[in-house]
A and B are shown apart, each in its own frame.
Chain A
Amino acid sequence: QSALTQPASVSGSPGQSITISCTGSTRDIGSDNTVSWYQQHPGKVPRLIIYEVSERPSGVSNRFSGSKSGNTASLTISGLQTEDEADYYCCSYVDIDTWVFGGGTKLTVL
């Protein structure tokens, strides 16, 4: 159950776009479309922002989008806002009722 690989940190200026990558293997990300992404502000509860690779729950801004190519999933945030500054985690279903998270990426909005 090796963690998915995310960059430790990314940064951007307000209004810019950033992309966070999440690399796994053929056993997890590459096997189906069960990648989800969670946003967590300091001291807060994780919040679902993307599921099934690219689907957005109701109430989540359309500035958040997800995609996948092979064994790598990506989260793109466009039109960066200061409130986007948070930690972001990818997650993938593996098999036989197990999941794996990425190590998390700290987004800094400069």
Chain B
Amino acid sequence: QVQLVESGGGVVQPGRALTISCTASGFTFGSYGMQWVRQAPGKGLEWVAFISYDGSERAYADSVKGRFTVSRHDSKNTVYLQMNGLRNEDTAVYFCARVRTSYYFDPWGQGTLVTVSS
């Protein structure tokens, strides 16, 4: 079945960097765009980043632009989110999801928690 599994979350100090991953299975990974969405504790969903099926297009929310970089490695069925200059307000569960043709997200991974704290 279609499955997405995030990994790499943890506790990191403000200003430091962290890279999280999302590994896909059950579908042709190289045919789909992928995206990252985060959810701060007790808060709503916030779109973070998108990468097209071939990696040629990338987009970011204003809140992370210039600090976060999304990439993909199709031979590993994996999409990454490199997060630099982390801030306390980046603390959240980060979900990856597959982007469908009509611009919706399905399915979602189980999420990985990133905590930025000194």
Q: Which residues of A contact B59 (CB under 8 A)?
A: 96-98
Could you mark each residue 62-77 of chain B with 1 if its beta carbon is under 8 Å from any beta carbon of chain A, else 0? 1000000000000000
The verdict on B102 contacting chain A, using a C-beta distance below 8 Å, is yes
- The residue on A at minimum CB distance from B109 is A45
The verdict on A69 contacting chain B, using a C-beta distance below 8 Å, is no
Interface residues on A, range: 20 to 34
Q: Is the CB of A57 within 8 A of B106?
A: yes
**How far apart sit A7 and B25, CA to CA, in the bound complex (Å)?**
36
Q: Which residues of A contact B62 (CB under 8 A)?
A: 1
Kindly specify which of B13-21, B41-49, B82-90 makes contact with the partner chain: B41-49
- Which chain B residues have a beta carbon within 8 Å of chain A's beta carbons? 35, 37, 44-47, 50, 52, 57-59, 61-62, 95, 100, 102-111
13 A-B pairs within 8 Å (CB atoms) are namely A1-B61, A36-B103, A45-B110, A46-B105, A51-B100, A51-B102, A91-B47, A97-B57, A97-B59, A99-B47, A101-B44, A101-B47, A104-B44
- Which chain A residues have a beta carbon within 8 Å of chain B's beta carbons? 1, 3, 33-34, 36, 38, 40, 45-48, 51-52, 57, 87, 89, 91, 93, 96-104
